[in-house]
A and B are shown apart, each in its own frame.
Chain A
Amino acid sequence: MADGGRGLSLPLDLAQAIMAARPRVVAALAAALHDLDAAEEAFAEAAARCLVLPAPPRDVGAWLFVAARRRALDALRKKAAEVRSTEALAQVSDMADILELPEPIPDERLRLLFICCHPALGAEVRAALALKVICGLPVAAIARLFAVSEQAMFQRITRAKVKVRDAGIAFELPPRRDWPERLGAVLLALELAFTAAYADAGGELAADVGEDLGAEVERLALLVAELLPQEPEALGLAAQVLLARSRAGARVDGEGAMVPLSRQNPARWDGLRIEQARALMDRAATLGRSGPCQVMAAIQLTHARRAFDGRTDWAAILRLYDVLLALRPSPMVALSRALALAQIEGAEAGLAELDALPAERLALARPFHVARADLLAKAGREDAARAALGAALALKPPRAERLWLEGWRDRLA
């Protein structure tokens, strides 16, 4: 950059600065307006005007905040003139008061997060709402992330916004004693988004909608960790997201096929993200309250150690899965535990564990068939392994995973 990286000379930089400023600005607007839609609209209009300014503003966030709240106040005045209800008039005077507030932008991001993840909203819409309102992700991208039609996702988000506006949801931070319950909703929302983004190994969804979904989910997870530094599970989840993202460059080969964790080249992992995750987990550990997110992050961190000493401590991973299974029993956790066990006691031991799982519940889960294929192949039962791969492929995996499974099946033949 000609001016030594100080200014925002390229339009791309300005667009990025606008996206980076968005959570803070939209949160401050939403807290003032008590209306997510109005906050988003005001921000979008301000952003559009910012992009065509002859010279980019020195402080993009502050400029956007001032422009957007002026726009929001105009909209409110217009509405109040139309309806003349006492409620609308009161809102105008409230907003006028806020206009007088001095800079800097009040930090309302945590409030907004708790509102988007309010338990009065359906669990299936909370993450979508947070990604839409806080990160500004387009509805099309969110729809792909959660594998529903754009129309359905649009309706879901619109309905949630109307509920937030009309149902009387408090625009306040919940009392501290309610945080564990509310935080659970926030973390679950993030986890859903993360799982969906991570399943997209080849970036197929992302390519379709022109967004890096994993990056947005990571941004949101880091924001939550930054806002809740005393909540070890929030730190654990952010660490998990960072560790998964640290492997992004190694997850797909030159042909676009997915590369499973065990075959990834650790030299291609992002050491900075691994370090950042480790620091988050160290901090979480000092808080002395363990939980599933921290255990899952610890498992991922144990895998990441391979980058430093070239080996995987399967005994440690197996112990962590035992803890996770006690904290959050599920067939998928049991499945991962069986794979870890097989590393120590052999493929047959792992297969015996898999056979004990509820096969009918897992029939539609690709990881179940892939795990069976892996252990069957290791046990020398190649025909059965091929059949298991066939079952996984029949479940229509995304392209990168399909290419990997097909290549594997060909090698077995």
Chain B
Amino acid sequence: MQFMLMINEDESAYAGPDGAALLEATLAGHMKLAEDLVAAGVPFSGERLKPAATATTIRWENGTATLHDGPFAETHEELGGFYIIDVESLDAALEWARRIPVPKGGIEVRPVWPMGAEG
């Protein structure tokens, strides 16, 4: 089944004096993870997102949409990117999620609703 691994991280971790080196190390970690996924034959996709400052949010209230400058929720940790992987179980998905490099933050793992399934 498919799982989405959402990387919620504190962007400010990359802003300090060592930020550039940290970013480089993190990106290298993602490259390595992608290689490992390929080597293990796990179907996957994933993207890195631009910083939360570039986000625009549409909010619906009583049938009208208003635009907001910024991400959906104001928190220290923003969605910075994601993977979608196809593995046997949550246990396997968690195993891969643990290997995602996150200097500061966490990973949310959610099953993808299968197309055509009841619900």
Contact = CB atoms under 8 A, between A and B. Distances in A.
Given A120-B94, A170-B89, A88 B1 contact: no
Interface string B58-102: 000000000000000000000000000000111111100000000
Q: Is the interface of A mostly helix, strand, loop or mixed?
A: loop
B111 interface: yes
| Chain A CB within 10 A, most for which of B1, B88, B118 | B118
B1 A168 contact: yes
B118 A172 contact: no
| Chain B CB within 10 A, most for which of A88, A120, A168 | A168
Interface in A49-90: 83, 85-88
A172 B88 CA distance: 11
B116 interface: yes
Contact of A174 (B91, B93, B118): B91
Nearest to A163: B90
Contacts of B3: 168
A152 B6 CA distance: 30
Contact of B116 (A86, A120, A174): A86
Interface string A151-174: 000000000000000111110101
Interface residue tally on B, bucketed by range: 10 to 19
A88 B116 CA distance: 11
Interface in A121-178: 166-170, 172, 174
A278 B88 CA distance: 43
A169 B118 contact: no
Nearest to A119: B94
B4 to A, nearest CB: 12
B114 interface: yes
A87 B118 CA distance: 9
Interface in B1-22: 1, 3
A169 B88 CA distance: 9
Nearest to A79: B118
A120 B90 contact: yes
A174 B95 CA distance: 12
Contacts of B89: 168-170, 172
Contact of A87 (B88, B92, B117): B117
B61 to A, nearest CB: 28
B110 to A, nearest CB: 8
A174 B88 CA distance: 13
| Chain A CB within 10 A, most for which of B3, B90, B111 | B90
B91 A170 contact: yes
B3 to A, nearest CB: 7
A87 B91 contact: no
Nearest to B94: A120
Contacts of A86: 116
Contacts of B114: 87
Give me the 4 closest cross-chain CB pairs, A-B, nearest first. A170-B89, A168-B90, A170-B91, A83-B118
Interface of B: 1, 3, 88-94, 111, 114, 116-118
30 contacts: A83-B118, A85-B116, A85-B117, A85-B118, A86-B116, A87-B114, A87-B117, A87-B118, A88-B118, A120-B90, A120-B94, A166-B111, A167-B90, A167-B111, A168-B1, A168-B3, A168-B89, A168-B90, A168-B93, A168-B111, A169-B89, A169-B90, A169-B91, A170-B89, A170-B90, A170-B91, A170-B92, A172-B89, A172-B91, A174-B91
Given A120-B94, A174-B91, 11 more contacts: A85-B116, A85-B117, A85-B118, A86-B116, A87-B117, A87-B118, A167-B90, A168-B89, A168-B90, A170-B91, A172-B91
